Structure formats: structure tokens, C-alpha cells
Amino acid sequence: MFWSQDAHAYLGSFEEEDGYRVPMNGQILSAYVAGDAQFYLNNNSGNGYTGVVPLGAYPNSLGDGTNGPDVTRYNAGQFGTNNSGPGGAAADIADGSGLWQALSGGRLYEDATAPYYYGSQYDRNQIVAYRNTTPHSGSQTLNLMASDQSLSYLYRMDSRDYGGVAPASTAGLQVQMSFWVKPSDWDDPDTDNILGLSLIDAANQPVFEVGYTGDNFLQYRMTGGAWQTTAYQMGSMGWSEITLALDTLHNTASLGISAYNDGSSLLGSSISVLTSQSLGLISGAITGLQWDLRGGTLDNGAVSYIQSFDDFSFDITSVTPVPEPGCVVLLILGAALLNSPRRRV
């Protein structure tokens, strides 16, 4: 390993300074966003904007100050000062034209019945920044909700995520990602996969996926394979840390976890789950993340509600190539010749 860059923003901790807006005391910290925010505020079709505001989502006349708008509706992660950010403030954008894009479900499902919403605060389908009373750090988290239908969202990496390294330049390097997660206990009766987080390369192929079951057992899967359920269960009352290292030179993945124990109210020690596991494919530069959350009718009466994430960080490291077998033989022979005794004349 020759050099390393550490990053902690854009995804970061989902604070206002990371580029994620949530109202505080009835007001958004950054200025109101023209257009989209006005739709949220007025919640009617007369302003010409389409979209659905679940009851309790803010800003609207009901005044719930805990949820920001869906991350695809504004320049989420593209303003703020953390990690050499550009500053600025939240701004209205064409939906899905920023770093976040809804692929299926989520706000696309909500929009299907715009401009009216007939659900309750428990019937939301979106990814938002949320003012959490028990965050891992700071005051905000990223909350995923897929109450009525499964959702899939894509997030495109930025050099701000990678500490100044362009995502397209990560081919042949090791990308290490760590994050904190607090799964929901609403979906515990469902023991199948509930959430997957895929690393996406420049060819738009999922390279490796980590996730967990409804009852919070850590899972992983290789591209095209089945979910592998581990013996490590994460508590829903505290934060667990997941660490993933992807070596795009040798095409291997390593996975570790520190799981929170609800019974002892303690964070467990760091455990290695996988070490240099072959991906079974040639990976390119890691340029995105894809979030997939199963929603709708789950098994055994379970409900897909809030999955919370916090404190993403990335470390980009160069790796030493492994010499070809023929090169190894030549190196050994060369070393032997250099160390052999010389005959005096």
C-alpha cells in the first residue's frame, strides 16, 4: 500500500453541512427551495408541480419538522462545507437529475397518485434525511421507507466522497467503505432478505452486495449468486458498523462487522466475515451505490418501515500487484545469482 485518502462527506453523516436538508423548529436551515418546496408547502395541484406529500412529511401545512424531501427532488449531497464542499444551499432540480436517482418504487410510486395522498405517516415510500433523536453522530440520519412497495435508488459517487479522488480513477485500487446502520424491528418476523446495498462499477454492474434479513442477520452475495446469511445479528436498539473493502485490482472483497447487541446494550468487537473473497468477475472503477429495500406485504405480517444509516466514510488505497508466476521464478533466480559466492581469479 502506497497512499491513502480518507473521505467523510457527500454521503457523510447526512447533516446540512453534508448537503442534506431537514427542517429545524419549523424552518429549513437553508433557504426554501423554489418550486418543489412550494409544492410540499402547499400540497395542492394548483402550483403546477406534481408529486405526493405523505401526511407528516415536511414542509407542508401539517408542520412535521423531522423529514426532509426525498433525496431525488433537490441537490442532495451537492452543497454544504464538510469535506471541502462548495458551500451554497439546497436548490430545486429536475427530479433524479442530481447524485440520487429513483430507479423504481419510492417517490415514483408516490407520484403515481399525485397530487393527492391517502395514506398515513406509516405509508411512506422514499429516502430522506431525517432529524433523528438517536443518531450515531450529529443530528440527522438517512432513512429508507418502503411501506407500500419495494424501492430501488441509485447514488452516484463524487470526488468529495473519495477525498478528492475521481470515482472513475478507482480502477485498480482498493475502495474501503464503512457505515453505521440501525435496522428496523417492524420487519423482524420476515426472515428473508429485506435490504441490499450494492457497489456499482463504471460499467453499471453490481460488483458486490451487502445487506440483511428482516430479523437483522448480516448477509452478502456475489453478482448473480444467492444471498448468504451469516450468523451475525444486528440489534435494532443501537448502531452497528459494517466495513467492506473491495480490491478492484485483484477482484476480491473483504467484509467485517461490529454488531450492536440489544440484550447487553453494547457494541460487539470487530469481526472479519470475509477476507479477500474472489468476486468471480473483473470489476471496474467503483462509481455508485444502489439501495434496494423490500416493501409492501412481507412475510408473517411484518412491515417494512424505517431503516436508518449514518456516518459513511471511504478510504481509497493503492495495492501492490501480485507478480506473474514466470516473473516470480525470474526474481528467485536473480536473487540466487546475486547471493551466490564468487570465485576468485
| pLDDT at 169 > cutoff 50 | yes
* pTM score: 0.84
| Distance between CA atoms of residues 289 and 74, nearest Å | 18
Residue percentage of the chain with pLDDT more than 70: 74
pLDDT for 259 equals 98
pLDDT for 341 equals 56
| pLDDT at 186 > cutoff 50 | yes
Indicate if the alpha-carbon torsion angle 207, 210, 213, 218 is positive or negative: positive
Which of 345, 40, 2 shows the shortest CA–CA distance to 173? 2
* Cβ–Cβ under 8 Å, residues 291 and 157: no
Lowest mean pLDDT among 48-52, 135-139, 268-272, 316-320: 48-52
pLDDT for 147 equals 87
The residue with cell 478492484 is 248
190-234 confidence digits (pLDDT tens): 999 999 999 999 999 999 999 999 999 999 999 889 999 999 999
Output DSSP code: residue 137: S
pLDDT for 87 equals 92
pLDDT band at 68 (very low <50, low <70, confident <90, very high): confident
Domains of the chain (ranges; CATH) run 4-339 (2.60.120.200)
pLDDT for 113 equals 56
Mean pLDDT of 29-50: 41
The residue with greater pLDDT, 247 or 119, is: 247
Residue 315, SS3 per DSSP: strand
| Distance between CA atoms of residues 265 and 5, nearest Å | 33
